[in-house]
Amino acid sequence: MNRRDLLKWTLAGSALAVIRLSFANSETDKRLVVILLRGGLDGLHAMPPYADRNYRRMRPNLAVAAPGEGTGTLDLDGYFGLHSGLASLYPLYSAEELLLIPAAATRYRARSHFDGQNMLENGTRAPYGATDGWMNRAIAGLTGDEARQALSIGPAIPLIMQGANRVQTWSSTALPGVDEDFLKRLTHVYDSDPQFAAALASAQNSPQPRVTTANRRNPFKGPDFEVATRAAADLLARPAGPRMALLEMQGWDTHFDQERRLRNSFQDLAAGIVALKAGLTGVWDQTAVVIVSEFGRTAAQNASRGTDHGTGGIAMLAGGAVRGGRVHGDWPGLSQRSLYEGRDVQAVNEYEAIFKTLLIGHLGQDQGFVEDVVFPESRRIKPMEGLMV
């Protein structure tokens, strides 16, 4: 016996009762995975507009080589390419399971990581516009028992998953488990403190993915991303498993030495997506993965072969439920006149529009619920069309 067999021991009477909203929820077998890339991913590096003269002009010693010119850039549509660090995702593109949206961002238009991330996660139109996260609010639009809701991977719960609704959490550990008797006693101690009681109850309900965590972690980088994706996939693949999952990756703030650093990060990210697909065999057709970052970067490079904080970035969607194999959305170009404030890619494709489609068109959530609860004050932004199969 271990702590995790002590499921729901305390849940019935605890402060965790989830307030259900009375929207028309439909049972879904669809899965939604959100991957947050923290630091501001340079969309022009992930998906270089290699055929654009302005791109080479603004990035004289950073521009990614055109396909066939040595570094292995893969061609997407004759204008955009895919960075070779993401090469293991190319088979997904060929299989129409990878959709790439350039010039994408939230409504945030300044250049602070922390305000930008806060807004991407809180789902309102302002930094600190809500104290909970939009994925957490979206949980209320799911049905089924609590385990069929949301999963957050890692020792802490990011803002996007924080809130009133119940979230499953999992992180890899090398510490010995605690015996049931001790936890039972501790539960009584925690009755005095609702916040501790809730956190412990939730931890006792943590799922057990079948995943080896022996991989050595780099303590500075956080848990190995691929381990996290394998754990998430194992849980998501279960019939009664969660329907939404959140993963995150640090290290995308490339003011310096961008090519080397992004190549490594791209390889880790792509390996994670490939592991997700492998682990989701059987439900991959029901799955949509969306990869986003708080903003894009300057169109021009700086002297340190990096880029500074910008605006329009990129959204990547993967999964069998995604109508992929295409570059999607509008593209404003890179001429000086079309740049935002003369320096950044215009963010003409809105993340909120993408998220709405994923909730409404993919998970089958009620449009009114999504407009009123998940992304308040966003009716101006219509769900983006053409994303799902």
Task: Name the site residues for other proteins (rule: CB under 8 A).
Answer: 3, 38-39, 57-58, 60-61, 110-115, 127, 154-157, 162, 169-171, 173-178, 181-183, 185-186, 188-193, 195-196, 199-200, 202-204, 206, 217, 219-220, 222, 250-251, 253, 255-256, 298, 300-304, 306, 308-309, 341, 343
- The contacts of residue 36 (CB under 8 Å, 6+ apart) are 117, 120, 121, 158, 160, 246, 247, 248, 249, 292, 293
Residues 30/387, Cβ–Cβ less than 8 Å? no
Shorter beta-carbon distance to other proteins: residue 87 or 186: 186
Residues 88/278, Cβ–Cβ less than 8 Å? no
CB of 111 to other proteins, least distance (A): 7
Shorter beta-carbon distance to other proteins: residue 336 or 367: 336
CB of 138 to other proteins, least distance (A): 19
Shorter beta-carbon distance to other proteins: residue 44 or 58: 58
Shorter beta-carbon distance to other proteins: residue 17 or 156: 156
| CA angle, residues 264, 250, 247, in degrees to nearest 5 | 105
Dist CA 142 CA 149 (whole Å) = 7
- Quick check: helix, strand or coil at residue 75? strand
CB of 110 to other proteins, least distance (A): 8
CB of 315 to other proteins, least distance (A): 21
Shorter beta-carbon distance to other proteins: residue 20 or 217: 217
Shorter beta-carbon distance to other proteins: residue 19 or 174: 174
CB of 197 to other proteins, least distance (A): 9
Shorter beta-carbon distance to other proteins: residue 235 or 381: 235
Pairing of strands 313-318, 98-105: antiparallel
- Quick check: helix, strand or coil at residue 61? coil
CB of 88 to other proteins, least distance (A): 25
CB of 381 to other proteins, least distance (A): 24
Residues 16/201, Cβ–Cβ less than 8 Å? yes
Instruction: DSSP for 281-317, please give it.
Output: TTTGGGEEEEEEES--BBSS--TTS---B-S-EEEEE
Residue 41 to residues 3, 95, 137, 275, 318: CA-CA distances in angstroms?
Answer: 39, 25, 26, 21, 17
